[in-house]
Amino acid sequence: MKIILLGAPFSGKGTLARNIMKDFNIVQISTGDLFRENIKNGTKIGLEAKSYMDKGELVPDTVTIKMLEARLKEKDCKNGFILDGFPRSIPQAEALKKITDIDTVIELDVPLDEIKRRCVGRRICSKCGEIYNTSSYDKSTCSKCGAPLFQRDDDNLETITLRLEVYEKTTAPLINFYADKLYVAKGSQKGPEETYKPVKNFLMGLKK
């Protein structure tokens, strides 16, 4: 199954993707994670991406699309994948069309108030990638694997505002672009598990 996840920053795409990944045996491909990995390893891609990411802007398509295309050729994508954070613009969606077909597009719809509430509290496990929020979890280590949690460099108020603007202007038009493949998932106030339930049922139906 090949899935695209759409949603504003902090809508919970990463957490939803991790749930889907476990149940449907497909890999999560986050272009943001790929960039962060490249930055950590000091690669040319990482060097180029960092200045854009620090400002909350999109990394240019020439870099992003090439990186994504190479990742999709890897063996673990054979069974399918969930794209988390790609495409982020109509030109990227056009480019993706030439690379592969997609079965469904899930839009994670979360009210702006809730997104703003989550922004600065996000913490991520440095080892297993589990995502937390300080509003509901106040420890500094992961409850699953015990590794320290960290806050992303770009999770600060200045870049967050810009990232939300970029989403509205450049990424949200994809909701219309993919109208014929779109499934809208409402982010539940009750937490990620409740958000995931209907999505799981929908994907189960699609698999049959």
Q: Which of 17, 59, 174, 185 binds ligand AMP (CB under 6 A)?
A: 59
Shortest Cβ 157–ligand AMP spacing (Å): 14
| Residues tagged active-site | 13, 88, 122, 152, 163
Amino acid at 47: L
Other C-beta atoms closer than 10 Å to the C-beta of 134 total 15
31: contact with ligand AMP by CB under 6 A: yes
**Rounded distance between C-alpha atoms, residue 196 and residue 190, angstroms:** 11
Q: Which of 39, 64, 82, 174 binds ligand AMP (CB under 6 A)?
A: 64
Q: Which of 3, 4, 6, 9 binds ligand AMP (CB under 6 A)?
A: 9
Size of the site for ligand AMP (CB under 6 A): 18
56: contact with ligand AMP by CB under 6 A: yes
Nearer to ligand AMP, 52 or 183 (CB): 52
Q: Which of 58, 105, 115, 149 binds ligand AMP (CB under 6 A)?
A: 58
Interacting residues toward ligand AMP by CB under 6 A: 9, 30-32, 35, 52-53, 56-59, 64, 85-86, 88, 92, 154, 163
